[in-house]
Amino acid sequence: MSMPLMQDTIAPPARPAAMGDATIQLNQVLHEVRPLVERVAERKRITVAFDASDELPTAARHELPLMRLCYLLIVRAITVTPPYGTVRVSGSLLGAGDVAGPGRWIQVTVWDAGTGITPSDFQRVFQDFEPRDSTAAEGCYGVTVSSRLAHLPTARLSMNTRWGEGCTFTVKLPAA
């Protein structure tokens, strides 16, 4: 699959009304992304399990298109997960207690059941590179684009992987 076609396949619809918001509600983002990724997952018979507290605070947006970022990470996870596998998505508040405030972070974590990323590709995962096969190309594309979206002023994107055991990607945003 070529990159332009892939871009069309994985781009969620724009939400013009939300573009002017100073903050964004994480639960609302996950609620809106869910039906979009479930349609993609159905084609591979993948289960996408969502787990997010109903009490998550808003996050500072700072021009971060959070819906697109979550969508890309989840679709990437679906792409690399074998048929009949499970992708898990969670939203949570980091820090002591249940109250948002300075120094508190909201996080979205996406786990896949793929093969993980080889040690030789680990250093390059957030950069453009030519993967060895088409499945890897689709998965890498989502990481590269997500990395560009997340490296905006206040967002943090991190990855944890072990070859043969899948990947975990985490996006952290300051709680508003």
Task: Return the CATH number at 124.
Answer: 3.30.565.10
Instruction: Tell whether the model's pLDDT for residue 104 goes beyond 60.
Output: yes
Band (pLDDT 50/70/90 cuts) for residue 99 is low
62 three-state secondary structure: coil
| Residue 87: exposure state from Cβ atoms within 10 A (0-12, 13-18, ≥19) | buried
Average pLDDT over residues 14-42: 75
Its domain, for residue 101, covers 3-7+22-155+167-174
| pLDDT bucket at 162, cuts 50 / 70 / 90 | confident
Contact yes or no for 103/176 (Cβ under 8 A): no
Q: Is residue 29 part of a domain?
A: yes
Does residue 15 have a pLDDT over 60?
no
* pLDDT for the residue 6: 31
Domain annotation covers residue 14: no
Comparing 173 with 169, which gets the higher pLDDT?
Answer: 169
CA dist 171 and 137 (Å) reads 21
Q: Domain tally for the chain?
A: 1
Strands (E), 70-175: 86-94, 105-111, 156-161, 167-174
The model's pLDDT over 56-82, given as tens digits with 9 standing for 90+, comes to: 777 766 444 778 888 888 998 998 999
Higher pLDDT, 149 or 16: 149
Q: How does pLDDT run across 123-136, given as a tens digit for each residue? A: 666 665 454 554 44
CB 25 within 8 A of CB 58: yes
Answer yes or no: is pLDDT of 94 > 90.
no
